[in-house]
Amino acid sequence: MALSARKVLITGGSAGIGEATARALTDRGAHVAVLARDSERLRAVARETGARPVPADLRDPDAVPRAVEAAADALGGLDALVNNAGSFRLGTVHDGRPADWREMVELNVLGLLAASQAAIPFLTRSGSGQLINISSMSGRRTPGAVTGVYAGTKHAVHAISDGLRDELHDRGIRVTVLSPGMVLTNRGAYITDPQVRETTARWHQEQGLDPADVAAQVCHVLAAPPDVHLVEIALISARQAP
């Protein structure tokens, strides 16, 4: 299926994988809307790519339906939703911060649910709707104690996607999970411990995928023939230890 004229909403579209995906899709002729909290950065991405900016906070359940409807209005409908927005926080259960847990659950799980729910009517009307949930290799296995809560939210993404795949089959909506390993983003910038922050940054620099690599897989999924349902794509950098 050609990407030209496909109408796609990307959450978390102001940086990282979301920004790279907006660039990749607009370069291929898709009509794109990007949703994020950082309205200034969001508008910069929109200026650079031609995507439609939709400022919204996925943690606000009342704002999400309005934002998705605004995106659909701006694009003239929706053919695909890329649930990319998320939060990454390190910490064990014993030493972790409840505020960090709450943010990860609100964005990684509840935000994904809210955006999906709001988009389903538009994707149904498309006749060839696609839902792509950006998860993580941590959603397939938990790499360590400090990633346990984060991995739990990503395991939830896999479970929710399985349920959605069954729920939306009769609506003609395909549901794909994309599970990247380490990615070169600034998601570790929040870490207050300088040593942990430096180590995390080094790991991602040495072993991370370029966000454009993940964006290319999103394009691959969206370009799949209508009779092909890609269930999951898992990818890591060749430099990352398996």
Output the CA angle 87-91-95, nearest 5 degrees.
Answer: 135
Of 25, 88, 150, 222, catalytic: 150
CA distance 67 to 56: 6
Alpha carbon dihedral 28, 209, 189, 91, in 10-degree steps, equals: 120
Query: Are the C-beta atoms of 14 and 42 separated by less than 8 Å?
Result: yes
> Helix 112-126 vs helix 63-75: angle between axes, to the nearest 10 degrees?
30
Q: Which amino acid, 192?
A: T
Residue 97 is predicted with a pLDDT of: 93
Q: 190 catalytic, yes or no?
A: no
pLDDT reported for residue 178: 98
In the CATH scheme, what is the homologous superfamily, with its name and number, of domain 7-235?
NAD(P)-binding Rossmann-like Domain (3.40.50.720)
Q: What is the pLDDT of residue 201?
A: 57
Q: Three-state SS for 133?
A: strand
Low-confidence residues of the chain, pLDDT below 70? Answer: 1, 186-207, 241-242
Query: What are the extents of the domains in the chain?
Result: 7-235
**How confident is the model at residue 191, as a pLDDT?**
56
